[in-house]
Structure 1
Amino acid sequence: MRPLRFVALGDSLTEGVGDPVGEAWRGWAALLAEGLSGGVPEGVPGGVSLELGGGPSDRPGASVEFTNLAVSGAQTRDVLERQTPEALALRPDVVSVVIGVNDTLRCTFDIHAVAARLDQVYAAFRDQGAVLLTACLPDPGAMLGLPGALARPLARRQRAVNAVVHALSERYGAVHVHAAEGAWLTDRALWSADRLHPGERGHRQLALRFHASLAQQGVATGPAPSAEPEFPVPTRSASLWWLATAGTGWVARRCTDLLPQLLTLAAAEVRHRARGTSARLDLGASHAVASALAALSGGEQPDAA
């Protein structure tokens, strides 16, 4: 009996940034893989054969093969053009597609393009019969603590991406986790020094939420990941050093091309607030989402609200 195949697609969140194990990142997807059939990965990242004890209810004794294709900085275009073909060739039984934040940090952001790409990716895996995992994500402006005029445009973009992900997840019957809100966003113990990536405890929370949903479907039959960290929390000095070196560079590389546009968007925010017409910006974003979903093939669109 062939192993159950779990393939993870996405960006730095799924790559595991914030959850270091040795010289590599681990992350929520690797933690989730441990509980799909009850075992422990023999190594991370990517391309790992897991010789586990149990399997889904209709596949007793199956092992799990976990492959992590996520790459830091990836956008929906990268997932569609690079990661998806490689993942389809592996013919996964379970596939996670968690992506979108990096799209919002680019001056080329286009919700129509994001929707079209995600529609193609989701459809390809569902056509293969894979169980599809998706998630809504928090907006980076709020997580970084940016001033309101700078944060609101990013929040509006992330809400648009989340609305598309939510609608398409319903269409394709995905196992969907709402990670864009809730107490976990304000619990500092769950987040790494950069405030954009979960720490080990946060990655474990994501894995637990996916595991609970998959357990209801009989896909995750192994034990749920522990909520408690396996490794000590980095010291404050170590976290500050990382943020001042690697972390600052990470943010700068992803926001450089956005900054001029973001300043323009912030100026528009200030003008609309002064005139009392801020609702027009939100309404325009909602119309863009509805238009993007309506442009997709596949019949009647789910509610994007």
Structure 2
Amino acid sequence: MGRGRERAHDSGSSVTAHRANSYVAIGDSFTEGLNDPAADNASYRGWADRLAEILAANDPELHYANLAVRGKLLDQVIGDQLPAALALRPSLVSLVAGGNDILRPGNDPDLLAERFDAAVAELRAHGAQVLIGTGFDTRQVPVMRHVRGRVGTYNSHLWAIAERHECRVIDLWSMRVLQDPRAWSTDRLHLSPEGHRRVALRAAETLGLEVDEDWRRSWPPQPERPWHVQLTEDLRWVREHLAPWIGRRLRGRSSGDGRSPKRPELQRL
């Protein structure tokens, strides 16, 4: 990507914005990186950090910022993170948001998509290449499986938005490797480190980058667990994860309340 202001090309080519070689990630807990601990165990790594590492391997001059904060709704991402991302004048922005909205009853995926579309249009108007992600296929995820139809509707809109604005799409719905329980952490709502790693590889592939590993690689065989072990794990999950999550919803609180982005400024890795 060259320096300076250039005309945006189609989705099959690089797009240079006001600042070359820069990537800003915005979104919620998925992009913040829960539950993929960083090396210092003081924060999270996640698929976006891993993608930035792949980008930096191809371009050591890459500057990267991650403005995502767990628990944020789409309007919060658009209202707080989008202006901050635009102020950094990046050449690439990833925007994955709306999942927390869909988990809450009463949120219309058609209306969510309209607001998402406006955000993408603004990013593209500023010359940024935009990478978006679909929702996961939640058929095997407790609690989330009942919103599968709404996720599918939202995804259909996201594909249309991507075509309209010439964006790249990480098709999370079609990643069958994420149907394995090992792709998810113990809370069953966030990916495991291996799940994040595979999403990063898929994102890199979506951007046309060469990677050494295949995100499609099958998981190694795993012995079947006795039913009583599964039951014990289910009960522990309800007590340690589901109940606190429901409690926060009832109190109108979010796990991201009072939190700041982990990487608010563009910096070299």
Whether the TM-score (by the shorter chain) exceeds 0.5 is: yes
The one of 235, 239, 242 equivalent to 1:248 is 242
Aligned residue pairs total: 218
Distance in 2 between the 1:15 and 1:134 partners?
Answer: 15
Q: CA deviation at 1:198?
A: 1.0
Q: CA deviation at 1:243?
A: 4.6
Structure 2 spans left out of the alignment, 5+ residues? 4-18, 218-228, 253-269
**Residue 186 in 1 paired to residue 179 in 2?**
yes
- Return the letter of the residue paired with 1:30: D
Q: Is the 8 A contact 2:20 2:90 kept in 1?
A: no
Equivalent residue in structure 2 for 1:105, among 100, 103, 106: 103
In structure 1, the partner of 2:24 is 7
Once residues 72 and 12 of structure 1 are traced to their aligned partners in structure 2, the CA distance between those partners, rounded to angstroms, is 4
Structure 1 14/249 Cα, relative in aligned 2: closer, same or farther at 3 Å?
farther
5 Å matches for 1:1-305?
A: 4-21=21-38, 22-38=41-57, 54-55=58-59, 63-138=61-136, 140=138, 142-146=139-143, 151-152=145-146, 154-214=147-207, 216=208, 220=209, 243=237, 247-248=241-242, 251-253=245-247, 255-256=249-250
Q: Is the 8 A contact 2:32 2:45 kept in 1?
A: yes
1:112 and 1:144 map into 2 onto residues whose CA distance is 23
The aligned residue for residue 233 of structure 1 is none
Q: Which has the higher contact order (CA 8 A, sep 6+)?
A: 2
Aligned-partner residue type, residue 90 of structure 1? L
Give the secondary-structure state (helix, strand or coil) at the position aligned to 2:23: strand
**Secondary structure, in 3 states, of the residue corresponding to 1:176?**
strand
Amino acid at match of 1:251: W
**How large is the RMSD of aligned CA atoms in angstroms?**
3.0
Q: Find the residue that maps to 2:188 and give its secondary structure.
A: coil
Deviations 1:225-284 (A, max 9, x none): 7969xxxxxxx9xx99995676336632565389xxxxxxxxxxxxxxxxxxxxxxxxxx
Q: CA deviation at 1:64?
A: 1.3
Cα gap change, 1:28 to 1:69, in 2 (>3 Å) = same
Contact 1:193–1:240, Cα closer than 8 Å, also in 2? no
Q: Which residue of 1 aligns with 2:225?
A: none
Q: Offset at 1:181?
A: 3.3
Structure 2 letter corresponding to 1:118: F
User: Which residue type is aligned with residue 83 of structure 2?
Assistant: P
Asked if 2 retains the 8 angstrom alpha-carbon contact of 1:17 and 1:197, the reply is yes
SS at match of 1:144: coil
Percent identity between matched residues is 33
What's the offset of the Cα at 1:209? 0.6
- List per-residue Cα deviations over 1:173-211 (Å, max 9, x = no partner): 111011113422321221111222110100011100111
Residue 137 of structure 1: SS of its match in structure 2? coil
1:67 is paired with a residue whose SS is strand
Q: Contact between 1:190 and 1:198, CA under 8 Å: does it hold in 2?
A: yes
Conserved? CA contact 2:178–2:195, under 8 Å: no
- Whole-angstrom CA distance in 1 between matches of 2:95 and 2:24: 9
In structure 1, C-alpha distance between the alignment counterparts of 2:135 and 2:33, rounded to whole Å: 15
TM-score with structure 2 setting the length: 0.71
Preserved CA contact (<8 Å) 1:19 1:27: yes
> Secondary structure, in 3 states, of the residue corresponding to 1:193?
coil
Decide which structure has the larger Cα Rg and report it. 1
Distance 1:66 1:113, change over 3 A: same
Secondary structure, counterpart of 1:24 in structure 2: coil
Q: Separation in 2 of the partners of 1:151 and 1:98? A: 19
Preserved CA contact (<8 Å) 1:10 1:99: yes
User: 2:102·2:109 contact (CA, 8 Å) conserved in 1?
Assistant: no
Distance 1:242 1:224, change over 3 A: farther
Match of 2:264 in 1: none
